[in-house]
Amino acid sequence: MKQINYILLLALFGLVLGCSSSSQNRLTEETAIVPAPVSMEEQEGQFQFSANTVCRVENDEQQKVADQFLDLLETGVGFKPHIIRDEAEADFVFQHDSTLANEAYRLEVNPNEIRVKASSESGFFYATQTLRLLLPAAIEGGSTKQGSWTVPAVSITDAPRFAYRGLMLDVSRYFIPKETVLKMIDGMAMLKINKLHLHLVDDNGWRIEIKKYPKLTEVGAWRVPRNEPFPARPNANPGEKATVGGFYTQNDIQEMIAYAQKRQVEIIPEIEMPAHTNSSLAAYPELACSVVDQNIHVLPGGGGKNTQIIYCAGKEEVFHFLEDVIDEVAELFPSQYIHLGGDEAVKTYWKKCPDCQARMKAEKIPNEEELQSYFMKRMSRYVQSKGKEVMGWDELTNSEIPEDAIIFGWRGYGYAALKAARKGHRFVMTPARKLYLIRYQGPQWFEPLTYFGNNTLKDVYDYEPVQPDWEEGIDSLLMGVQGSLWTEFCSTPEDVEYLVFPRLAALAEVAWSAKGTKDWAGFLPGLDNYLTHMDQKGITYARSMYNLDHLVQPVDGNLQVALSCIRPDVEIRYTTDGSAPKATSMLYADTIQVETATMIQAATFRAGKQMGKNLTLDLLKNRATACPVITENARAYVLTNGVRGSDRHSDFEWAGWYNQDASFVVDLKEKQAISTVQLGTVSNFGMGVHRPAVVRLSVSDDQTNFRQVAEITESETSIFERGTQIKDLDFGALNVSGRYLKVEVENPGRCPVGHTREGQATWMYFDELIVN
């Protein structure tokens, strides 16, 4: 009967969606919430909470939810409505409705009554979270003199699109304090995010107490201090003291679980294997292959070749150890899932290890990739013997997948998970290109250092997990979506909060609201409302959505400047006289044409208030500015667009060449005298970005016959220096003439021995060719 009712409910929602859009579900700013309800109708009037309000519940489950909401209300207003169970008059009523699916709810608010209907504790809880967002933000613990505590009259019918709505927190690379995790859980719950995937184990720290193996936290939870960015951190020296880190006791874990359960959040533990395990191998090095010839320690950063040190697949004691760990984890976490990782396992030592090779021979395993399959299948069976389901990253699809494993699609757009789905496996989408929250969330000039490209608030919001080219039936195996925060660049709790919020609100909309109903402009008022609650809770969040993107391109011998902001509800104001923009500065309406050296300053404004940071474009003007660049690199226009790149080589102002030499020609449009030429470069040791070994400059009058006029060479020691540097390569005094300049660049080759990316190919990046 419940299944039939659930189908009828979905059909009802389908009819509602057929005649409404997401923007209609946010009828006014007063009723704007995230995620958008399936159906919302605004009524006349409002309900006012008072000391005389009476709440009626039917059972203990409902009372638990009501108590939690009314306790929250009391922190804001200074009074708590009375809860009853008899048939006396009440104006805040909880009512069981068996026709509603799990997590679904109906909320009816009129001036005389609030009535909440649901069939489950989670449904009642989500209804109260909607009420929470409809109330003044001071409910989070602000002033009790806020004024009238009213809820607008509305009729809401709501249910989630996906059952799995997740956030992953990597607590290994940066140990996130328990108190911060609790704050994050509350921020999640308000958005109806219901899964917290804790990445407890990695090369950089073991974060959970295992009583049978105390050295996991005595040794494995601590790394040596380093001041460089994560990718560039050198490994520990023998005997160097490890002082940075931390771990959760089992009591801490139990406290977090209890806190999360009250907020309908399931905490899913991840115990990584067979790779990303230097932290446990530092504590128990006998679990590594016997042929390992490197110092095993907790890695302070990227680790270089030390990441190739993984659990030995040939030693029985490795499986005994992991089974003991799983015993404690399975007992500690009530979650139905345990995530076993399975990603990025380099088999360098397995290929050399006599124990691993003996295992392969005895089990008739054809190669090391299938040896990982043996490893993961064996551990999966053990997890399943504990009554748990197994989750893993999408590298598990590289070989035979463990039976019934749930796959997390992460590489690129996450499509490797579809390989598992075609074999009947359930999957969760958390694609790095869309839902990895470590990536920049706004114009990179304004953002804290991280790496890779951008995943802006709007990028997350626009993400649609189900693609039209999927085979029929695959979408039925999609459990949901997850935002994943890796913490390589976090060093404080505020760093963590900044990267998660407000993008988690956009993810909530993807996970909750029905396909085809999203409306970016309609989403923003609800987001702003949510953020007022975050302000009251003291949670740090990014305002990157108000910052300006720019695109400066050479057009017909001049520069064309385009400015944009992902928020359509702001004005862009700018100046060209060197002064900071104000609300009365020139209004940007279309591209700006620049003919001479100019400084443009711009910012976003709303209702006369500046919303974003100042963007400064100090546009150069030299003989190469705005000239055509002839090369196959599509980003080569940045070589003559007058804008200098920042120290982030991914900021869209650098033209890059990977693992190859480079060549480009700049057409100065007419023959002219040339006295100096400089080429802008950037290097980033940790990311394998380095200056070239040789740069040659040639000139020509006809673009056919070039003559070399200068050459710059650099030593390997200088090229591969540590740190991040911006440097202009200067060809010196030239005293030549010509129309065409050719720049030929030799790649410096692979990163040398001792480099954090030893043996990997290198990138070269250039911005301006400056000609005078």
Which positions are catalytic? 202, 276, 344
CA distance 612 to 546: 5
How many residues does the structure list for the chain?
Answer: 772
Burial 708-717 (b: 16+ CB within 10 A, else e): ebbebebeee
CA distance 434 to 430: 8
Distance between start and end Cα atoms, the chain: 81
Tally of CA atoms within 13 A in the half-sphere of 125 that contains its CB: 23
Residue 747 in contact with residue 660, Cβ under 8 Å? yes
The closest alpha carbon to 380, from 419, 345, 414, 341, belongs to 341
CA 137 vs CA 70, 125, 142, 492: distances in Å: 15, 18, 8, 26
CA distance 527 to 460: 13
> Positive or negative CA dihedral for 715, 718, 721, 725?
negative
User: Can you say whether residue 26 is alpha, beta or left, with left for phi > 0 and alpha for psi between -120 and 50 degrees?
Assistant: beta
Kind of pairing, strands 195-199 and 266-273? parallel
Burial 495-528 (b: 16+ CB within 10 A, else e): bbbbbbbbbbbbbbbbbbbbeebbbbebbbbbbe
What HEC string does 203-227 produce?
Answer: CCEECECCCCCCHHHHCCCEECCCC
Residue written as token pair 């360098």 = 348
**56: CB partners within 8 A, 6+ apart:** 83, 84, 85, 86, 88, 90, 92, 93, 94
Contacts 24+ apart (CB under 8 A), 181-187: 181/256, 182/256, 182/259, 183/497, 183/537, 183/539, 184/496, 184/497, 184/500, 185/256, 185/259, 185/260, 185/263, 185/265, 186/263, 186/537, 187/500, 187/501, 187/504, 187/534, 187/537, 187/539
**Cβ neighbours, 10 Å, residue 192:** 22
Q: Which residues pair with 84 in a beta bridge?
A: 56
Longest CA pairwise span in the chain (Å): 98
